[in-house]
Amino acid sequence: MNVNGEGILLSEMRDAGLIQNCGWFSNLLKTVATVVAVAAVVVAVVAVCAVTCGAATPAVVAAGVATASTVSAASALTIAGYASITAAIAAGVAITVEMWEKAYPGIEVTMQNNITYAKWNDDTKEAITDITDSERKKKDPEIYFHVVKYNNASGPILVDLTNRYTINAMALKMSTLGWSSLTEKSTDALEVIVKAFNGFGTSLDFKGLPHYHATLSNKSHMSVNGFTVHSYYYSI
């Protein structure tokens, strides 16, 4: 068979445990997470089976199609990919480092305990913009990101891209844990810190990436658990 310009032998697929000699597909997707373009392979195998399996072909084809239709969203993503990161997020799948790098070639990401951390740069900014633009279509959008590491002089250093928060969820993290937040728009950045520290004043700081602070009566910046709380943004 010729699949996407590459020759694939049925014997290779048999040895990999993907098919059985008679064309029954019970094991076809057993190792689906490691198969490239399995949908194309299913079609190709069915086509070959139509020539070699004779009268049993309709039943075999039906079995193959039924099995293929049950592939999970996560497996499908691993195999064929999505048109965009936002499409993958909407599908509720786990996004790999490779996927981030493919979608945003200059992004610098690492994964620890299934959480993707990105260095703050223009490609991370682009990724967050795409996500927040998609999220704004929802009633309660998850448009806030946890700034895991920052520099008081320059701003965010490391951002958690895996977990995204609604305004209420992020405000709670800021007020109880001392998290610093990042979002796209200045209005959203102001709104979340006001909600987190209701009754306190706010100040706008342009040192590094623009951000808001909640302020105490003596004008000092609010801190929780020893962490100064920032509400960063990068777009008006």
pLDDT range class, residue 15, cuts 50, 70, 90: low
Q: Are 86 and 134 in contact, with CB atoms under 8 Å apart?
A: yes
Find, among 186, 164, 181, 170, the residue nearest to 236 by Cα. 186
CA distance 211 to 203: 9
Cα Rg for the chain, rounded, in angstroms?
A: 25
Give the model's pLDDT for residue 90: 85
pLDDT for 20 equals 60
Residues contacting residue 58 through CB under 8 Å, at least 6 positions apart: none
Q: Give the per-residue pLDDT at 91.
A: 84
pLDDT digits (tens, 9 = 90+) for 73-110: 444 444 345 678 888 888 888 889 999 999 999 999 99
The more confidently predicted of residues 68 and 22 is 22
Please tell me the predicted confidence (pLDDT) of residue 89.
Answer: 86
pLDDT in tens, 163-189: 999 999 999 999 999 999 999 999 999
- What pLDDT, on the 0 to 100 scale, is given for residue 24? 43
What b-and-e string marks burial along 69-98, b requiring 16 or more CB atoms within 10 Å of the CB? eebeeebbbbbeebeebbebbeeebebeee
Beta strands in the chain, from DSSP E residues, in sequence order: 2-3, 6-7, 109-112, 115-119, 144-151, 155-165, 180-182, 201-205, 211-215, 223-224, 227-228, 231-232
142: pLDDT strictly greater than 90: yes
Kindly state the average pLDDT of the residues 42-51. Answer: 45
Task: Please report which confidence band the pLDDT of residue 131 belongs to, taking 50, 70 and 90 as the band edges.
Answer: very high
Burial of 8 (0-12, 13-18, 19+ CB in 10 A): middle
pLDDT bin (cut points 50, 70, 90) of residue 30 is very low
